[in-house]
Structure 1
């Protein structure tokens, strides 16, 4: 499938997380240990905010992340307090730039690992449900982008968790009509520059891997001389498909059917329960 990460905290050079960490996201694009596929070489995407109220910047490429020299230069040059990054392993759809995550609509970005089972059979019905005012913003052909615009249609901007719950409930209802089971497997992240919203959920309760960082304040005490921790600050928070550094105390697995909302130092964990919109 895919691997992704989301970061919020002190502004850091993007290469700190993308390249310098042991088992970084770039390393995972070749050597994933917890994904459905070991190699995730069907494109890369990166989105970042310089200021909370700005439209995010974005870089996407169909090159494998490990072989993208422009990405390495960009990650060395850019410093940001919040960003999303994604390495892709394509399923139903072609390798093209418009199918690379994160997807963006105004201030919002969205990244996904997983799939809608039977998406080609359901695609028309799912796309027709997207708000007509947003439909022309669709650029690619992935189930992930369809999920993003369905969530936008069902209220992501007003209440991100509820918007995602309605999206998941709608997908499952359409799948049931088509006799498709299980319908949905997803770890997703959405952000508007002020918050990170991440979800781990699947219809069969057997979701793709997802982890979050534990207290960086505690890690500073345990590892005061570790430069990988020193730069990010006490209130930094990372959500990752799989751990990116070799510190067992640094990571905890996100439980099944759980949503996480991160606003600065405030972190809220909620049950994730799909509902039909």
Structure 2
């Protein structure tokens, strides 16, 4: 399991957003309040943020518990951004333990995170990854369920599919292939946030010109205090959330069609 969040709004320091808030993501690494699976999130963490000069997002990822990183407080008090995605990790059994498995994953302007788990993921996701080429699979960043889900999302984005349908399709197909899976997916390009609730908790909070999407509520700062904006609202189970700093839309996840049979590996191997 994991905890994650995404923020869009006026620039805040990473410390204001992640460390200082009571019950915030930093605290959720050892004391999550609404996590139904697992007890701590101590298998690594990651932060992705969009520089104010408009360049692609930067990342800081570690394989240690977030509280054990002595460099983070200095980084967090000096980096400011109006678009952030961050996560603390509780690893699925049998997955990679190094920082390559820590969200966010990245391509271009996209940042991605997975809050959940796919039990027996090497078997459960076999049918789904049949649509990928051998080149795609060999380029997987990490040996874990989250990295494979990111490959499936990225495959759709590269094909020109809009972010909302891409994320919804992967979450729905994952639930079809493995009913025990928990596939809360989170994606941002720094201008919008797309998220699924599929198996675990998801909440959002808005204020004028800002939105915060998170695995569980906490007391945020910046535009959300002392009483700015609306309170926390829970996203219904099996839903897709699309948000910008000005609006939030929630729709049901579609039912997933059966995966297509995978072609033989020899037909998916790149030719010389």
Deviation (angstroms), 1:183: 4.2
Matched, 1:14 2:14: yes
Matched, 1:236 2:233: no
CA contact (8 A) 1:154 1:167 kept: no
Whole-angstrom CA distance in 1 between matches of 2:69 and 2:108: 27
CA contact (8 A) 2:197 2:240 kept: yes
Whole-angstrom CA distance in 2 between matches of 1:107 and 1:209: 26
Q: 2:201 — aligned with what?
A: 209
SS at match of 2:154: helix
* Paired positions, count: 248
Whole-angstrom CA distance in 1 between matches of 2:133 and 2:8: 30
CA contact (8 A) 2:211 2:244 kept: no
Structure 1 residue runs without a partner (length 5+)? 202-206, 217-233
Relative to structure 1, is the Cα distance of residues 120 and 158 closer, same or farther in structure 2, using a 3 angstrom cutoff?
closer
- The superposition leaves residues 5-25 of structure 1 with CA deviations (integer Å, 9 ceiling, x where unpaired) of 111100111110111101111
Q: 1:26 — aligned with what?
A: 26
Whole-angstrom CA distance in 1 between matches of 2:119 and 2:47: 26
Matched, 1:163 2:155: no
Corresponding residue to 2:234 among 248, 253, 259: 253
Q: 1:110 — aligned with what?
A: 112
Runs of 4+ in 1 over 6 A off after TM superposition: 246-249
CA contact (8 A) 2:202 2:215 kept: yes
Q: 1:55 — aligned with what?
A: 56
Q: 1:65 — aligned with what?
A: 66
Corresponding residue to 2:132 among 124, 130, 133: 130
Deviation (angstroms), 1:130: 2.3
Q: 1:226 — aligned with what?
A: none
Task: Judging by fraction of residues, say which structure has more helix.
Answer: 1
Deviates more, 1:7-16 or 1:188-197: 188-197
Q: 1:91 — aligned with what?
A: 92
Deviation (angstroms), 1:125: 4.3
Deviation (angstroms), 1:245: 1.4
TM-score by length of 2: 0.83
CA contact (8 A) 1:165 1:275 kept: no
TM-score by length of 1: 0.81
Whole-angstrom CA distance in 2 between matches of 1:259 and 1:170: 14
Whole-angstrom CA distance in 1 between matches of 2:139 and 2:106: 9
Whole-angstrom CA distance in 2 between matches of 1:151 and 1:31: 30
Structure 2 residue runs without a partner (length 5+)? 221-225, 260-272
Whole-angstrom CA distance in 2 between matches of 1:15 and 1:21: 9
CA contact (8 A) 1:52 1:192 kept: no
Corresponding residue to 1:119 among 93, 118, 121: 121
SS at match of 1:194: coil
Q: 2:269 — aligned with what?
A: none
SS at match of 1:22: coil
